Amino acid sequence: MKNKSLIESFNNAINGIIYAIRNERNMKIHIVAAVVVLLLSLFYDLNKEELLIVCLVVALVLVCELFNTAVELLVDIIIDVYHPKAKVIKDVAAGAVMVSAFFSLVAAYFIFFDRVGSDLEIGIVRIRQAPMHITAIALVITSVIVVALKAHSRTGTPFHGGMPSGHAAIAFAITTSIALWTDNVKITILCLVISLLLIQSRLEGKIHTVIESLAGAAIGFLTALLLFQIFYTVR
């Protein structure tokens, strides 16, 4: 059946990713490795080409693992008993994942090997002096936490409803980042009012409960606050 809307398409796609993460051990490992590599990339002095290679390699491994999961499920549906060719199909799909993972290790060696020491220190200083990078990291981490909690609670969809409220989390992560970044009371109050109006709209639309909205706001606030406390230094 075709998806009725663009939001439904996104929800179904993310639900597929969540299924793979929840049910496939290797997918959990790949996700953790991908998050670690992408976060560490922010600490290193990578040029645009190198950063693009890192992103492509990470995406390649994840895509191969998703296809591997889909192939395994499809084979299990078609053939419910042991069959030599079914085993070959699964082995070939797993082989594709292994090739992509091996290539990612090769790429990581050439890109990161000479940067482990000095560039890491330079990257930390750079992030400390650039609050917009900390804000971006806070938004990414907040989004990951929200999706993970929704998957764990099995409520709502990644973009609609459920525990906690993703809109509230993102709004308060942005508000907290702006407050800590600018030290401007007027701008902070304006952002806070907009965030509260957003929460009110979610409550009036009966998309979220008060507890879900407060939980989302707390996640966004604490995530941004923690990252700024760790990384941000005033120039």
Segments of the chain with pLDDT less than 50: none
Say what the pTM is: 0.53
In three-state secondary structure terms, 160 is: strand
pLDDT at 114: 67
Q: Report pLDDT for 22.
A: 81
Residue among 144, 143, 159 at smallest CA distance from 7:
159
Q: pLDDT by residue (tens digit) across 174-218?
A: 888 888 877 778 888 888 888 888 888 888 778 888 888 888 889
Q: Which residues contact 21 (CB under 8 A, 6 or more apart)?
A: 27, 28, 31, 151
CB 71 within 8 A of CB 39: no
d(CA 168, CA 211): 11
Answer yes or no: 50 catalytic: no
Q: Which residues contact 123 (CB under 8 A, 6 or more apart)?
A: 42, 43, 44, 45
Instruction: Return phi, psi of residue 157, to 5°.
Output: -125, 170
Catalytic-role residue among 24, 49, 50, 65:
65
For the chain, state the CA radius of gyration.
21
Retrieve residue 24's tokens. Answer: 């496939």
**Which helix (H) or strand (E) element contains residue 209?**
none
Cis bond upstream, residue 84 (ω within 30): no
For residue 97, the model assigns a pLDDT of: 87
